A = this chain, B = another copy of it.
Amino acid sequence: MGKLLIVGSVAFDAIETKYGKTGKILGGAATYIGLAGSYFNLKSGIVSVIGEDFPQKNIDILTDRNINIDGLEVIKGGKTFFWSGKYHDDMNGRDTLETQLNVMADFEPKVPENLQDAEVVMLGNLHPLVQLSALEQMKNPKLVILDTMNFWMDNSWDDLLKVISKVDVITINDEEARQLSGENSLVKANQVIQKMGPKTVVIKKGEHGALLFQGNHMFFAPALPLEEVFDPTGAGDTFAGGFAGYLTQTKDFSFENMKQAVVYGSNLASFCVEKFGPDRLLDLKTEEVFNRLKIFKSLTQFDIDLP
């Protein structure tokens, strides 16, 4: 069985959308990646850090989904990373109301020995040096996937380039791809980013789907058009978790198989946005996942006879 190592935040989020407002709920990149990955046949483990204020019930949510937490460090007397934000009515933009780094400020990832041999490593959004430090503890991973964001482009450019040069796949949103590459066209942005190291570039376009590039190959998966987007929080990480999870399960890192991984990622992300926080990922049934994959197929597949 394939093994997936997830490095990223486990956190509290407080979210406001036009549909309502949450208190401090379970959040963080590693959480969404882990929950999405748990829909595949694999072993997974999270490397992260939390404070003593993190309730046991949130930890249970992870372990109930068979996510190994040997690498989840608890800092005595520390407070867990906290983010709060409010989405605009169209659900595309959002304003950050508060960010408390707390224990995340001094995070030194320690990959437990039983996770160092994972075939697939998913480095969720974190300081590039933290991502690098975790990666250096791995024994010969077969596929390393990196997620990052504009904040590190603004503040830690050189470190970011260093970690980018060491990964196989980068997942990044469209605006970040433009910023990282200095190119407006996503095709050109991808070309520039491939030269930085990653052979595979995945550009997430939110409600407009995702592009997969490898060499000159290109694939596109739409986001499922939905009647309502309830809360977009975690959709990008859920996408990445579905992508990484499918690749870990199948152990096939070919471009053809990555196409399917992108569809699986987009599929799981379409559920994530249906409820607040990770709630929808917790009550999701395998049958629902497969039924929606059928919808994805009919949404995109066509038959044109070419001469």
Residues of A within 8 A of B (CB): 89-91, 184-188, 205, 208-209, 211, 217-222, 225-229, 256, 259-260, 263, 290, 293-294, 297-304, 306-307
Contact = CB atoms under 8 A, between A and B. Distances in A.
Contacts of A185: 225-229
A187 B306 contact: no
A220 B222 contact: yes
Nearest to A186: B225
A304 B218 contact: no
Contacts of A304: 260, 263, 293, 297
Most chain B beta carbons < 10 A, residue from A228, A298, A301, A307: A301
Nearest to A190: B225
A202 to B, nearest CB: 13
Nearest to A222: B220
Given A187-B225, A187-B226, A294-B306, A220 B299 contact: yes
Contacts of A219: 298-300, 302
Most chain B beta carbons < 10 A, residue from A259, A293, A304: A304
Given A184-B90, A293-B304, A222 B222 contact: yes
Nearest to A218: B299
Given A209-B222, A219-B299, 6 more contacts: A187-B226, A220-B299, A222-B222, A290-B306, A290-B307, A293-B306
12 contacts: A91-B184, A185-B226, A185-B227, A185-B229, A187-B226, A205-B208, A209-B222, A217-B298, A218-B299, A220-B300, A290-B306, A297-B306
A300 B297 CA distance: 10
Most chain B beta carbons < 10 A, residue from A186, A209, A259: A259
User: 8 tightest A-B contacts by CB?
Assistant: A208-B208, A259-B302, A220-B222, A187-B227, A187-B225, A300-B300, A220-B299, A260-B304
